[in-house]
Structure 1
């Protein structure tokens, strides 16, 4: 009986440690860095280094999306995200990428760079 209890405790410990290791590793993998832009009430994150705020603001949505590589539409943005400026570099942690054009990402948190 003691062996069974010990075996169950060891298995539970292994599962918990494995879960923690996966969460720590996923923290770094599920991030993206880029420039923030509020265009017509929609928040975008642009990873293209050639991004120019003035040009992007003047373009239509279709031109804007075609002009830059790596554009994400930010979905489910937390309230702590509001103090930002257009063109500011941000690091964004996200939970999932939704298929669309541009891709939508569900934001968990964000930090200024």
Structure 2
């Protein structure tokens, strides 16, 4: 999938994969790949700066935790992050509904041919 298709939606995807609980950076990348059925393969050079930015914005909190006997920075949603994710989901629903209406071959409601 084109990188442009992900642009603008990266933050929402990162927040969504962190919703169930804390993950370290590589696990975030793996979760996005798995949840997308392998279609989305994010690069570390894209994900880590985004995670750091989301943390600076107060949407994530991180702390060092041992994972497989190795310390890793794990990220988790803050309350502000949960609110932001809810808003992103609502915006996404509106967007996909509008785009589907345009791309759908069916005649729009209220229009006669």
Higher strand share goes to which structure?
1
Give the shorter-chain TM-score range. Answer: under 0.3
Higher helix share goes to which structure?
2
TM-score (norm 1): 0.24
TM-score (norm 2): 0.24
